[in-house]
Amino acid sequence: MPQVKFNVINKSDQNFIKLKPLLNDFLPFAKKRIGFNRPPTIHFSSDKENAYKLLGKTAHYDPETEVIVVYVDNRHPKDVLRSLSHELVHHMQNCKGQFDHNNFTGDEQYAQKDPHLRKMEKEAYLLGNMCFRDWEDDYKKRYKENYQMYVTSEQIVKENKSQDYEVAPGDTLSSISGMFYQNVHKWPLIYKKNKRRIGRSPDLIDVGTVLTIPPVEDWENMSQSEKDRIYSKSKFYKKFDGTWQPISGDMAFRGPESIEDLETELSIDPNIFTSTGEPWRDAVTELRTWRGRNEDNPELAERLAAMWRWCGWDQVTPENANDFSSRTPWSAVAISWCFRSDNDFPRSASHTDYMLRARKNRRSGASGYQLFTPKELNYDYKLNDIVCYIPSNYGKYHCDIYVGNNEVCGGNLSDTFAKNKINSKDRNNSGLINGNPIRYIIRKTTSSIKEWKNQEVERLLMEKFNIGNKEN
């Protein structure tokens, strides 16, 4: 599916730097939901006189030039996006030839005079509002507390000055950099300003910490050696071809927005991207695909490139994927790929990244992916559990996906995608994979940790005292 490029021009006197991530997320969503096949030109415009009119204009669409004008003065950002959504429906109608250019004069009373145009206006109100509402609910679900920074116009119209930001659950310096700078790689600027508050490691920031966010212009004042020195402090960056490169992707701001976009980028068989919708089933699919082949096989170059690029590694292409994968561990990338049907799972090339994020979710009480010990889960492994252990020949954490029957699947095992057996003698043993004890389980939960603990206590009491309902 070709990717639509939107031409957005800010003709207002307002700074929309904080609105840009919302626009980048909303416009592809609206394109798919509303169904237009060519991009309009979008103008954000100021009209001070109009802004103070009680019944002033909010937006309009020109079907001949295919230009949408949205007036932004004295308006909440949600209202701005809602008006944009309305006009995008009119653009879709125009793409389908529903506008009669000979009769449509731009008369403000057109909806009262022409039955056909009135019907089109009704569709714009209904479809436009529902499109915006569905996107808003989806956005809040995906980004949780992070969306709250966009609740007021004042926050959007900030000048290029330092700002304060309170760290929310799930935040990382890279995600905060993406929110404020639209570039996740500029987080060293934030770390430099807040080193005393954060500490030695930029990978761990405490929820509730108030960070000072410098203006993005200060990035140019940092020397490359200074940037590299800060990059080297992170476990999620490594040196590649003389420069520090990320080894973890950020869901919100890096990598292709969709499988369809990735298909277009690489121009390869879309079947290579087909997901079953269940991570464990996708893991089994990978197992079958890789059987008898390894990371050096040129037939798997496009697949490896897709995995890496899904995690934001745009420098990996089908031409260099085999060589790159032979030099760089790709087991975590394979996990992200198998979980590509779940937007709650972070795209990352680091197992430690998954684990730290899951630990943060649990400590903060947030639902989603949380970190447990096998004992806490009563040694009861479930489909889609991510099983983490330290292979004796590796010395670092490795994770696989539980696929049932005491078996796990994972990538970069003997240079391929392979299966292992969980062996345990009794329930007091957490389980061994190739003689290595399972240390942690990452599992998705739909309840808070407090609710989960209450459920576990109730279950254990029922088992202990044999209470509860019995079938006759």
pLDDT per position as a tens digit, 418-451: 999 998 755 556 689 988 999 999 999 865 555 5
DSSP letters, 80-103, are HHHHHHHHHHHHHHHHTT---TTT
Q: How high is the pLDDT of residue 385? A: 96
Is it the case that residue 365 has pLDDT exceeding 50?
yes
Rounded to the nearest integer, the mean pLDDT of the chain is: 78
Mean pLDDT to the nearest integer, 401-425: 90
User: Residue 217 burial by CB count (10 A; 0-12/13-18/19+): exposed, middle or buried?
Assistant: exposed
Q: Give the percent of the chain with pLDDT over 90.
A: 24
- CA distance linking residue 3 with residue 121, whole number of Å: 27
The CATH class for the domain spanning 160-246 reads alpha beta
Range name among 48-57, 273-282, 297-306, 365-374 with the lowest pLDDT average: 48-57
Range name among 178-192, 293-307, 418-432, 447-461 with the lowest pLDDT average: 447-461
Mean pLDDT to the nearest integer, 315-330: 89
Q: How high is the pLDDT of residue 191? A: 94
Is it the case that residue 249 has pLDDT exceeding 90?
no
Q: What is the pTM of this model?
A: 0.48
Q: How high is the pLDDT of residue 301? A: 92
Residue 51 — pLDDT band, cuts 50, 70, 90? Answer: low
Is it the case that residue 452 has pLDDT exceeding 60?
no
Mean pLDDT to the nearest integer, 336-345: 90
Q: How high is the pLDDT of residue 104? A: 47
Q: Give the percent of the chain with pLDDT over 70.
A: 74
Mean pLDDT to the nearest integer, 192-197: 92
Is it the case that residue 214 has pLDDT exceeding 60?
yes
Residue 13 — pLDDT band, cuts 50, 70, 90? Answer: low
Q: How many CB atoms lie within 10 A of CB 268?
A: 17
Range name among 196-210, 238-252, 342-356 with the lowest pLDDT average: 238-252
210 close to 178: Cβ distance less than 8 angstroms: no
Q: How high is the pLDDT of residue 105? A: 43
- CA distance linking residue 298 with residue 160, whole number of Å: 49
Q: How high is the pLDDT of residue 425? A: 59
39 close to 28: Cβ distance less than 8 angstroms: no
Residue 286 — pLDDT band, cuts 50, 70, 90? Answer: very high
Query: DSSP code of 2?
Result: P
| CATH label, 253-472, candidates 3.40.50.10490, 3.90.1720.10, 3.30.70.890, 1.10.645.10 | 3.90.1720.10
Structure tokens at 373: 């010990």
Q: How high is the pLDDT of residue 102? A: 45
Residue 394 — pLDDT band, cuts 50, 70, 90? Answer: confident
- CA distance linking residue 298 with residue 302, whole number of Å: 8
- CA distance linking residue 457 with residue 465, whole number of Å: 12
- CA distance linking residue 159 with residue 436, whole number of Å: 54
Q: How high is the pLDDT of residue 226? A: 92
Q: How high is the pLDDT of residue 408? A: 95
- CA distance linking residue 85 with residue 92, whole number of Å: 11
Is it the case that residue 60 has pLDDT exceeding 50?
yes
- Whats the size of the chain, residue-wise? 472
Q: How many CB atoms lie within 10 A of CB 65?
A: 9
CATH 3.40.50 holds for 7-150: no
Q: How high is the pLDDT of residue 252? A: 33
Backbone φ, ψ for residue 417 (5° rounding): -95, 120
Q: Where in the chain is the domain with CATH 3.40.390?
A: 7-150
Q: Where in the chain is the domain with CATH 3.10.350.10?
A: 160-246
- SS3 of 191, please? helix
* Contact residues for 276 (Cβ-Cβ < 8 A; gap 6+): 282, 285, 341
Is it the case that residue 36 has pLDDT exceeding 70?
yes
Q: Where in the chain is the domain with CATH 3.90.1720.10?
A: 253-472
Answer positive or negative: Cα dihedral of 100, 105, 107, 112. Answer: negative
Q: How high is the pLDDT of residue 267? A: 63
